[in-house]
Structure 1
Amino acid sequence: MMMFLFGLIMLIPLSFLNLFWLIQWFFFILTFLFILNYSGFYQIFSISYFLGMDMLSYSLILLSFWICSLMILASMKLYQNNEYYGLFIFVLIFLLLSLYLTFSSLNLFNFYLFFEISLIPTLILIIGWGYQPERLEAGIYLLFYTLFMSLPMMIMIFYLSEKLYVTSFSFLNMNLNMFFMFLCVNLVFFVKIPMFFLHLWLPKAHVEAPVSGSMILAGIMLKLGGYGLLRFMILFKYFLLNLNIFFIIISLIGGFFVSLICIRQSDMKSLIAYSSVSHMSLVLAGIMTLNYWGLWGALMMMLAHGLCSSGLFCLANIMYERIHSRSLYLNKGLLNIMPNLSLLWFLLISSNMAAPPSLNLMSEIMLINSIVSFSILSMLFLSLMSFFSAVYSLFLYSYSQHGMYYSGFYMFYSGFMREYLLLMLHWLPLNFLFLKMEFLVQWI
């Protein structure tokens, strides 16, 4: 574990040496080295100092490495325009360091510390390289939502360390049965995931963020909430049996309402951001069923959503760089102009609506099994969510690819090899990971 940590630290001096693409190569090399580091055990492995991994941590760290590598590939415009790209790479390395330490920490306080630190580089990305003046408001939303909800969690960590005399995840064997304690620990995760009613920061942050900011928000930041819920669930395992039905109801009804909101969006980025809320509400409902199908379905949905949503934000940005608008009223008739890119639109949107053979389908089957086994009544809202997921995905595809194209397209230029590579590196893992399901099947 420490070798990857030191590898990332040693990349920091290189970030200011005009080595934009070399850093990206190093990121990819670290990613593949990390894949080779996999050990087939299902308990905690690769323990060194205060770091260690299990299957949950391993898969999310791998997703972090992959998305951060692709963020550099997506930010070519920033490099061409010389917009402080040395600082951009530094922020990116710092962000990856904090995410790596968050997911691999075996200590409660270290987890909390790096969980909060990961907010700072995300905020710098949004405020520093965002597109509109409203990015300041979006940054403040993100900061205050997260900080206000996370301070009670720090107090609860101090309380646990006083009661247990230790802050290691391995010794979390208390049974807490107070609603106040439950909220103190988990409110920050509900904000991060984000749960319906606490999701208002997400569309704002996505719409104002640069492409790299949107990719990291959709790809990794929302997964911090799911990861935290799964880690701290053991403290409330008996108490939650009486409470989880309320969170499942909020998630399913909220996911349905957000799906309806998606159909009314005219901004492509806003539509993809709201679809993230809909998908992650299904993850939250799966976690709250408290069974293995829900746990592994939630993990797979987090991985699938991280790749799929990040790829869709890349596609929206590719259009924005050419047309300088994200409006669906101007982004029309793209099938006439860039038919090869329309194929990638189709592939990623079909994955977003859980078409086979994507990982989204596999995870939705597991989550639906889990939630229906909890209550047969949930079938109503599950079927509505699945249906409207297909509706807004087809709405986005048909509106952007068909119709009369905008007359201002005479300055339009074709796609670059870099962009096709970027999109295929999202789509290929998303649609071929289901071939390695035996890693999870042994658990269930």
Structure 2
Amino acid sequence: MDASSPPRYRRFSRPGPAPQSADLPAYTRRNTLAQPIARREPVEHLYPLSDSKGRPWASLSLMSSAKSAKSVPTFHEKEHINGSFQLAAEKGDSIQSVTVIVTGRIITGASVDDTYVFLNQPLSLWSKADSRSSGSATKLLGTCVWPFSIPLPKAVSLQDSGSDALFRLPESFCERHTRASVIYEVSVLVSRGKLRADSQIKTRFGYIPSTRPDSPSLLRQLAYRENSLLPGPDVDPAGWKASSTVVVRGTVFKTRPAAVHCMLSLANPLSYTRGTVIPCRMTLESTDGHALDIFSCPSAPMVTLRRCVRFQNPSTSTKREVDWIETYEDVSRAVFWPTVDGSDAAYSRSLEGEIKLPKELTSTSSIGRFTVSYTVVVSSFDAPGFTPSSSQPILAEPVTITTTHARDSPRPLAYAPPAYAPLPVPRQHNDFYAPPATARQGR
């Protein structure tokens, strides 16, 4: 029989109890990944504006839920940007207007054409023209303070394929090795007459949308509530999404061909909150017992969460068509361990695992020229003595990463035994970075 083409067979074909491939020590499942987050007390961020002699004459104050006053201001969905602007106007100062502006931009390069504004919310704090029409004083003198509160929209309407479409505001995104960025800014513009230069204070802020996964299956919710074993696909078919079965081919010890059937199951629905885990199961089948033992080693499967940042760069594209640029990075690798529910058989092995999601992971988003998406990828098997016949990914399953937890559902648990530490992640990236935004400050 050719070992490279194993025949079709029924899983669990051997009569009698299934053998245990490993005896794992008892351990307590942990509920430390996703504790409720208490909203922080607002902190004040102060941005002064000085004249040519270094004397402060104006300042922008913002209140946000950031970690500290030295951190970048942070605002969540449904929050208002609350703050105030203060200036000391001198006699003869030709101030025409004071305006606060909230902007959101996608930056894909250094050219002007590489900046796409998807959010622009101006708010007039004071205007000489409005004062004249209302009969108020038309000149500012002394210390003036204007508080403001600007609501952030949940979504914006943009042109997409020739028609208007609603897009949810994306999360802030700025990384050194990715050329595309999503930047939010608050600026205050002090406009003067034609013979005087305008003044401006500008600062970036972080925006976090409120996205939720759908609720897990009832059996998985029960397991989380009771701190019990997570039911597998055979017990809870509605709680898992199984991939198609693929054949992994290669050679063992460079002497003979080998083939193993592989199937990956991910916890359903395929949306997960960052800071938690993606539960996964892998089933391996083969009539080649030696190859099956090699592949079923917990450290062998190369299963990663792969992020794709996709964006358009008009300045480097042809006139007829705007090219899409894609950058990929593996952000987390799955940890596997032998199942303890007796699901192994003579020609079958099962591994249980999970992919830990970093708390700072950028959530899935798509707006205009910019998209962040995720895929769980089975790349290969890192098994001693095995040489794969192809370097292409074996399986790929798109998933969604959210920022908050499912409504009315228990928080997910981590099931990895303490001895199974996270494995190193093979990172992939392009060495590009977005240039910092500039701000004009002066008087």
Q: State the TM-score, normalized to the length of structure 2.
A: 0.27
- Identify the structure with the greater helix proportion: 1
Higher relative contact order (CA 8 A, sep 6+): 2
Whichever of the two has the greater Rg, that structure is 2
- Identify the structure with the greater strand proportion: 2
Q: State the TM-score, normalized to the length of structure 1.
A: 0.27
